[in-house]
A = this chain, B = another copy of it.
């Protein structure tokens, strides 16, 4: 299950959605808006996506998870728009028969989202200064995604 939403994420329903009588482990990850990055204060974050491509990339991540952990149940919801400190920006729930795979698959999904899915955030500080967060690493570069490019 994949969703981009402008509403608060009901993460409880997401973890319920992946539960399965054959599966003994559920791992839920929540990304939440932090008020401090080093010494810099954050008042709000604004998330923006290239929506059709983001959905396509998230779907590819689900496919990759199925290849590595067949039968895993996965739900991914990412929030868009303006979020206050403490709000949930992304929720990923995974269930598998045993715990090692549930941790590994949930972690895999989060790293893949952060590396490849076109969703950006703008940091708004208490003084009203706005700044897009674009880390030094290059996104989706041939160097990191060459395998899927040609």
Contacts and interface: CB of A to CB of B under 8 A. Distances in A.
Copies of this protein chain in the complex: 2
A138 to B, nearest CB: 21
Q: Which interface class (under 10, 10 to 19, 20 to 34, 35 or more) fits A?
A: 20 to 34
A25 B21 contact: no
Given A12-B12, A19-B86, A110-B99, A33 B25 contact: no
B34 A24 contact: yes
Contact of A24 (B24, B32, B99): B32
Interface in A16-60: 19, 21-36
B22 A36 contact: yes
A122 interface: no
A149 B34 CA distance: 40
Given A27-B29, A28-B27, A34 B107 contact: no
A97 interface: yes
B15 A35 contact: no
Contacts of A11: 15
Interface of A: 11-12, 15, 19, 21-36, 85-86, 95, 97, 99, 102-103, 106-107, 110
Given A99-B110, A103-B103, A103-B107, A19 B31 contact: no
A25 B15 contact: no
